[in-house]
Structure 1
Amino acid sequence: MTVKLAVPTPQQVEWHDTEIGMFIHWAPNVYQDQEYDDLSTPLDRINPSELDTEQWASVAESLGAKYIVMVAKHVGGFCMWQTDTCDYGVKDTPWRDGKGDVLRDLSESCRKRGLKLGIYLSPQDIYNGAQLAGRCETPEAQEKYNKIYRTQLEEVLSRYGEIFEVWFDGGQEIEVGDILERYVPNAVYFQSKHASIRWVGNEEGIATYPAWNAVRADSEAARGLGTIQHSDPNGEIWMPMECDARIRNTWFWNTQNEGTVKSLDHLMELYYRSVGNGAVLLLNANPDPTGQIPEPDARRAKEFGDEIRKRFANALCEAGGSGDTLEIELMEPTAIDHIVICEDIRYGERIRSYEVLGFDGEQWLKLCSGTAIGHKRIERIAEATLHKLRLNVLKAVDEPRIASLTAYYTGAATVFSPNNIRSERQKVGEWGPELFIYKVDRKSTETYDIGDLIDDAGQYALYFDNADGGASSVRAEGVRLLLNGASYPQFVSQTEDRYRINITGLGQRIQLELELYCELGNNGFGNIWLEKL
């Protein structure tokens, strides 16, 4: 079956390939010990005497980031560059006698290291009376702020060389399309009606699997307001996800949060569940009032980058090509605990279902399986010594294009995907605490397309497990089978810890709508399985 697929632009492909970026948040609220600027800090107190963009760029480089997104203006309205649009910015402070320009310094530091530069310019601006998305209370105030914002955007996009990414946090309702086209036609845009990338939907740095890149043209996502909830493998528009995450528990430095610097294990989980699910990770750094990224944060960022390089710098084998099967014969029996698959996304996400097998000298073991691959799918498997690897594409909407199939031995203990999993079992998706972050009742409704996991009519079991092999701390309180969008409750029944699904025919869109409940205090994650009975 051949269908018209969403495909990325060359700019989106380049953005995918970066895999990791670094966010930088700094504003007057670092002097207020809080997350948002209430405009209470006297301008003559704002003097980050040790601010050094060379240090920032060095931290990004050690992290393995390929780009930096600088918060040029957060919601308070403080401007980190020389602007005449207002009197609330670095030019109005004693820092460098009012002549300092953070964007100028950072752009130069990025160029020296080959880093790309992104700009975050908040449409919300408390100092100038603009609320979320740049809305003002009166038409007169709106007209005045529109001119201010458009001028600010022109300034930051025209003065500092090539801009890789533009962030419009919280949406953007001021018309700026002409400015983007004039100054940064090759950038990617986060949110707004001009969006070419989207927010993943949480600030935990996680793209819950499967993280399809396409969205439907008639969805909110096509208007720049999408999240992972809008992912649709058959969508008409390529709109990949950026996973923004904090290295501490807040975006801005404060005196209370040094102890919240994320552990290396935590950061590696973010990597697996963002980059390893085909998305891009944007990890925040929060300079302190002196302007320096604190040493504990810088050290952890380097440890994170070092660990990624240690695990994935040297592949044990590699192959690529077209077709439903790709096999690699290893030079000798080799211990493996990670499989990495990359589609050639220039042709879209063609694969809908796959499995990876390993030959141990006596038999073929099923190592892992799934649906979405996209830019990169990292599969963690229990350690196995193998002679051969084989990728089988079970379903695809066009000829599969595999950019690479690689294997690694990391020595990192994991049982996320046990070897020799039953051939009848297919992964529907993954679950984690990110699904329940904004849910006070610890419930979340998720919808999964399962048609590509089903080869024949029959009975199927739906169940959950924990990544550590234990009992799942997430359960389904309700399961609905949707056939072409209509619910068929008579085809679903519950037996103990699993649901039984009766599939009476194919040739239609088959979905499961799950009402998930997360146990209190759960921080684990795991898999959702569908198994033919």
Structure 2
Amino acid sequence: MKNLILLVALLISTWNVQAQSREKYYVKHLEFPKGATIDQKVDMAARLVPTPQQLAWQQMELTAFLHFGINTFTGREWGDGQEDPSLFNPSELDAEQWVRSLKDAGFKMVILTAKHHDGFCLWPTATTDHSVASSPWKNGKGDVVKELRAACDKYGMKFGVYLSPWDRNASCYGDSPKYNEFFIRQLTELLTNYGEVHEVWFDGANGEGPNGKKQVYDWDAFYKTIQKLQPKAVMAIMGDDVRWVGNEKGIGRETEWSATVLTPGIYARSGENNKQLGVSGMAKDLGNRSILENATELFWYPSEVDVSIRPGWFYHKEEDSKVKSLKHLTDIYFQSVGYNSVLLLNIPPDRRGLISEADVARLTEFAEYRKDAFADNRVKKGSKLWVASPGNTKTYQLKPRSEINTVMLQEDIAKGQRVESFTVEAETDGGWKKIGEGTTVGYKRLLRFPAIQAKKLKITIEGCRSKANISQVAAYYAPPLAEDVEKEDWNNLPRNTWKQISSSPLTIDLGKTVTLSAFTYAPDKGEAKPTMAFRYKFFVSNDGKSWKEVPTNGEFSNIMHNPLPQTITFGKEVKARFIRLEAVTLNGEPAQVDIGEMGVTVVGQTQPLAKDNEHLVYPEPDAHFILRPGDKHPGIAGWKFYTAHEFLQKDTKRGLPLGFIEHKGAHMSRTACVNNERCSRVEGGVLHIWSMEEPDSIDNGFDQKVKYSHGCYRSARPGSKDFWCRFTENMRIEIRFKRTNTQGFNDALWFMGNNNRPWPKNGEIDLLENPKKTVNQQAHFTLHSENHYAGVVGGGGSVTASIDLADMSQWNIYWLEWYPDRIVGGVNGQAYFEHLKGADGNDDWPWNDPSGFFLIFSTGISTDPNAWPGAIIPSEWDSNNPPSMFIDWIRVYINDDYKGEKAPKVKFY
């Protein structure tokens, strides 16, 4: 009987495979028969598949865009074609540095802006003098395209070119036949002289406006040129292989069909077809059944999500501090690659011809985060193909003790895109729980949800076309990242002095006469709207009657696709009390600009500096500095770099930082339990430690049943394998730290002796000790020793100072300078504590012990309202945002006058 069942199963399996193989597939495009029913259309749509080139393109997932050219040297986003080629002179251009950095970050292809809208060509073209051949770079013998192609060959990176159809320099632009011939000659040079090209990128930008030059592009001829010269290349955006997602924010659709009704713009029938269906490239859904009902044809036309790592597309020095955070990039990844799209991330080389250090550091972080997040798939046998019919469910076993917050589903898109809806459930100790749902899957779908301990996963294909081919089910724990804090940094004159005189044109009385170096236009909420400004004139006045125009380029370039703040810097400073913006939209209509969308840069005027302005120490406090022993402190003279812990993902084990151990003890635990596994995690380069309420009472390891757990770390002891730093005199120690504003837990950064004497005989230095019986903004610096200890912060015998901070929930740099005869401490650029040896009767000076001190991080809590840490108030806790402290990095410097032993060789994290 058993053999019979196996035989029947084998026959059914064979029949299914044969049935699949007998399916008729439509490659890239299909036309529905006249009078086809919706069921017939759905069946055909299920069998639309990509070309081999489209499939290979989708599997790359990450592509890099390199916006580089004359705009890099003018500071503009859109050049006007009148630029002097002599401006182009990258002093250290290194295409290998570009490709090496991008490959290390996980990118598979590089696309270069060989020509942007200004018409300046990065190769020595025979079509125009507006190129590198007319520049001083390499005495006019340089070729950026050639150097990048060689670098791609060396590092095994695929290569693509961006060639702007819009050319503001070419005199023949607007003479359609003549310019099309000109453009095809440029295209032919790029596709003939530089080896294999994998992607050709055309965009649809054309800012000429209603009265500008009229150019009708011969897309059919362009397309045939590519097919002839580079038949394996995909044609993107203004092509029929790859589709623009519809925005430049890096956000894809939750319902993303690669099998779409949208007719590519290069086809003459596209306008009529898309209008009839009521769809555009920015529609929320481009392939559901209701849209199929009226469609006459279908295209395999997958989406590409393009976004820049900076606010602008070209490099601007002032944006070095505005590189997208790891949290922002990670969200983009989940909403692009995780939404069945390819992410095209722009990383613009700077004026040296290098990808900037800030961008490389962020790319490294981004790569390390993805590697850590997707290193451990918790699903067993998730890669076995599952052919699912509508309503089918499949259960997957997870590895033991699986904590997950991310599920990945993939379809075998070589057999079409078929899933229309699905749900995901997880089995926990409390039974099955629904943790997510979605519509389309396609090549890859990533679902995020609050972390959960699970034993099994259950996937249900609620709806699909024909039978879905699920090629992969996976589950991971992706470390959560702290939310970004947005700030307005493009206006430094408080608006409470401003008065709006008129709205059309926008005229403002600033309230006093000031010297201006720039103004900023920032579209409301960063959202595009038909009424926003495109072309403009900017005027100033001292009396509101006599006006003078300030010379500018007069254009908010690319504002309709990238509606972020644009700062216009003046050629020279101007004095004014009144300002006026006369602006029109892309269509030439009067623009509507609100007073809140305007900002000014006043010379000599800065935002009021709070005590906790960390920029007083580091210009870019959150930047990942590449430091080596002996480097000077970037902001404080007299100190040289010694060692650091940056809490990078590569320096963790199971999400916890190397170089530290769990610091248990009756004193630390009090009426709680120290448990770093449950109460801490390295998240995107930040050590996050929290306190939490347990579901039931637990043993804290000291014969007490407790309801609360918290995290507590100490640096590894000298001699141990994870030892990395001995904290002692002649050092400057900096810790970048923030905390949540939650009552009832004590966040602390402490130094205690390594010599194993009973505490407090060895002394203690509290860099930050903040008992929070009530929410306050005070950080305390305390020194205890054997003869000077009272057990209470600020109590008799202790040497204590406090400082009021503007907001401890924002990042601050807490520091101390540790000398043989004194110790100084402070926050950011301000010292608030100094204690001299022997002062206040403190003669036992405990911190010169050769064993040095170790460092402790703790989020101690207490259930005793009168206790030193402060009483917990569970009713005020948010389980999704527990009382937490965050450590971004620790950096240690030694003094130039240090006469003791040389800094020992230790680990750098």
TM-score range, shorter chain: 0.7 to 0.9
Match of 1:23 in 2: 65
User: How far 1:53 moved relative to its partner?
Assistant: 0.4
Match of 1:368 in 2: 436
Amino acid at match of 1:173: Y
Match of 1:319 in 2: 383
2:527 to 437, 447, 452: 437
CA distance in 2, matches of 1:89, 1:52: 19
Matched-pair contact (CA < 8 Å) for 2:120–2:130: yes
1:436/1:212 CA distance change after superposition, 3 Å: farther
Residues 249-299 of structure 1: per-residue CA shift (max 9 Å, x gap): 111112322222111111111111111111111111111222111111121
User: How far 1:191 moved relative to its partner?
Assistant: 2.8
Matched-pair contact (CA < 8 Å) for 1:117–1:165: yes
User: How far 1:50 moved relative to its partner?
Assistant: 0.6
Matched-pair contact (CA < 8 Å) for 2:304–2:344: yes
Match of 2:537 in 1: none
Matched-pair contact (CA < 8 Å) for 1:27–1:37: no
CA distance in 1, matches of 2:456, 2:530: 48
User: How far 1:222 moved relative to its partner?
Assistant: 6.6
TM-score calculated relative to the size of structure 2: 0.44
Match of 1:145 in 2: 179
CA distance in 1, matches of 2:266, 2:447: 28
Q: Which has the larger radius of gyration?
A: 2
Match of 1:3 in 2: 43
1:434/1:337 CA distance change after superposition, 3 Å: farther
Matched-pair contact (CA < 8 Å) for 1:75–1:125: yes
Matched-pair contact (CA < 8 Å) for 1:213–1:233: no
Match of 1:78 in 2: 120
Match of 1:508 in 2: none
1:10/1:356 CA distance change after superposition, 3 Å: same
Q: In the TM superposition, what are the counterparts of 1:472-483 in structure 2 within 5 Å?
A: none
User: How far 1:362 moved relative to its partner?
Assistant: 4.4
75-84 vs 91-100, greater mean Cα deviation: 91-100
Match of 2:353 in 1: 291
183-192 vs 272-281, greater mean Cα deviation: 183-192
1:197 to 210, 219, 242: 242
CA distance in 2, matches of 1:59, 1:120: 20
Structure 1, unpaired ranges of 5+: 131-135, 416-432, 443-519, 522-533
Match of 1:176 in 2: 222
Match of 1:158 in 2: 192
Matched-pair contact (CA < 8 Å) for 1:340–1:376: yes
1:108 aligned counterpart, secondary structure: helix
User: How far 1:91 moved relative to its partner?
Assistant: 1.2
CA distance in 2, matches of 1:333, 1:393: 26
Amino acid at match of 1:3: D
TM-score calculated relative to the size of structure 1: 0.73
Amino acid at match of 1:288: D
405-414 vs 376-385, greater mean Cα deviation: 405-414
Residues 137-161 of structure 1: per-residue CA shift (max 9 Å, x gap): 3xxx333322221111011011111
Matched-pair contact (CA < 8 Å) for 1:216–1:222: no
User: How far 1:63 moved relative to its partner?
Assistant: 2.3
CA distance in 1, matches of 2:54, 2:282: 17
Q: In the TM superposition, what are the counterparts of 1:336-347 in structure 2 within 5 Å?
A: 336-347=404-415
Match of 2:475 in 1: 407
CA distance in 1, matches of 2:244, 2:456: 39
Amino acid at match of 2:253: T
Matched-pair contact (CA < 8 Å) for 1:341–1:373: yes
Structure 2, unpaired ranges of 5+: 1-38, 206-215, 272-279, 293-297, 484-522, 533-595, 598-909
**Structure 2 residue 227 is matched with structure 1 residue 187:** no
Match of 1:451 in 2: none
User: How far 1:333 moved relative to its partner?
Assistant: 3.5
Stretches of 4+ moved more than 4 A in 1?
217-226, 433-436
Residues 224-267 of structure 1: per-residue CA shift (max 9 Å, x gap): 78524162145611111111101111111123222221111111
1:297 aligned counterpart, secondary structure: helix
CA distance in 2, matches of 1:221, 1:355: 38
2:337 to 266, 275, 286: 275
Which has the bigger relative contact order, CA under 8 A and spacing at least 6? 1
93-102 vs 227-236, greater mean Cα deviation: 227-236
Q: In the TM superposition, what are the counterparts of 1:465-476 in structure 2 within 5 Å?
A: none
2:350 aligned counterpart, secondary structure: coil
1:307/1:441 CA distance change after superposition, 3 Å: farther
**Structure 2 residue 156 is matched with structure 1 residue 114:** yes
Amino acid at match of 1:212: W
Residues 58-111 of structure 1: per-residue CA shift (max 9 Å, x gap): 121132111111000000011111211111111111211211111111111112
Match of 1:525 in 2: none
CA distance in 2, matches of 1:185, 1:219: 18
CA distance in 2, matches of 1:105, 1:233: 45
User: How far 1:122 moved relative to its partner?
Assistant: 0.5
Residues 337-380 of structure 1: per-residue CA shift (max 9 Å, x gap): 11000111112221111111111144111111111111111111
Amino acid at match of 1:298: V
1:256 aligned counterpart, secondary structure: helix
User: How far 1:165 moved relative to its partner?
Assistant: 0.7
